[in-house]
Amino acid sequence: MGYTRGRIVRDAARASVAAAGGAGMTWAAYSFLAEQAKQARTVIPHRTDKAPSRDGVYVPGQEAVERPSDHPADVRLMVFGDSTACGLGCDDAEQTPGVLIARGLTRETGRSVQLSTKAIVGATSRGLVGQIDAMLIAGRPPDVSVILVGANDVTAVNGIESSARRLGRCVRRLRGEGSAVVVGTCPDIGVVWAIPQPLRTVMRTYSLRLAARQKVHVNAAGGRAVPLELLADRFRAAPDIMLSGDHFHPSPVGYALAAEALLPEVVAAVGEQSEPVPGPEPAPPADLANEERPTARLSRALRGVLRRDEPAA
């Protein structure tokens, strides 16, 4: 059974104040979740720094990165999305997903790859349109686009279907410009141990629902969806290794695992003569059809709780 925004919040209320009951349940649930969010914010810092970057042309058998003007590339790769697409949490640009994928693509194909990172720390699915607009104004579209987005849609409590639909439309637009598109779906936020229970379960459920709808919209738009939420067990097994020092973003080891999952689809996209053909935009399932309607006070309160000083993803 699916979860709308209102249902997720109601389930969180039941989990957190099951003993309270009665008319006071909504306020009690809000107070409880607000306190948990406050607790999480003392552990998860608000990041305003930038991820390390190393855009340029990657040449087979060469460590140095060339300037595009000095070495025209065989394949143009662009990375869009949020701070996970940027690689926030890494100390060295060589550890970021864009560089890992670029070097992997060069190694697997024997072709030179020009990497351009357009992702912005803190972006949600709403921000993807601006990133693509800026790219098209600056020059021609890439041969392959990689998108990582969704975590901030969860912390902002953006609508599941509307967030997935915006992503699908961005994929459809890139496909229309001739770019193959590979999307890493929303990660399982439940791996972030710094978020206390039951708030962590609320956010985990939300992120998994979003990932499922992202996959539907990406595939329908002619893109390739890679389910990054399936990496959650590896993160839960070793959170100190898989998460960075901010307890929220992946560590270099975590990013390497994500890049390893994405690379085969990127290689396949480069090697195939034709990409999947976009189909009609999917209709929302019945349980999400009305999610854009105004929701209860607790939903609005939870949105405020999670947005206040939220960590950028």
Most distant CA atoms of the chain, gap in Å: 70
Pick from 285, 273, 279: nearest CA to 172? 279
- Please state at what angle helix 25-43 crosses helix 5-16, rounded to 10 degrees: 90
Yes or no: say if 11 and 279 are a contact pair by the CB < 8 Å rule: no
| Plot region of 247 (φ>0 → left; ψ -120 to 50 → alpha; else → beta) | left
Higher pLDDT, 313 or 57: 57
Q: What mean pLDDT comes out for the span 231-238?
A: 95
Asked whether residue 80 carries a pLDDT value surpassing 80, the answer given is yes
> pLDDT tens digits, residue range 238-269?
999 999 988 889 999 999 999 999 999 999 99
Catalytic residues: 83, 246, 249
> pLDDT tens digits, residue range 97-128?
999 999 999 999 999 999 999 999 989 999 99
* CA atoms lying within 13 Å on the CB side of residue 192: 33
| Helix/strand/coil for 154 | helix
Range of weakest confidence among 137-141, 207-211, 265-269: 137-141
Asked whether residue 208 carries a pLDDT value surpassing 90, the answer given is yes
CB atoms within 10 A of CB 21: 10
Q: What mean pLDDT comes out for the span 44-67?
A: 87
Query: Domain 50-280's class?
Result: alpha beta
What's the whole-number average pLDDT of the chain? 82
What the block records as the tokens of 85 is 């697409």
pLDDT (0 to 100) of residue 271: 80
How far, in Å, CA of 189 to CA of 27, rounded? 25
pLDDT (0 to 100) of residue 17: 43
Asked whether residue 1 carries a pLDDT value surpassing 90, the answer given is no
Cis check for the bond before 198: say yes or no (omega within 30 of 0).
Answer: yes
Strand order in the sheet with 180-184: 65-66, 56-58, 113-117, 75-81, 144-148, 180-184, 224-226
Range of weakest confidence among 61-65, 230-234, 284-288: 284-288
Yes or no: say if 177 and 212 are a contact pair by the CB < 8 Å rule: no
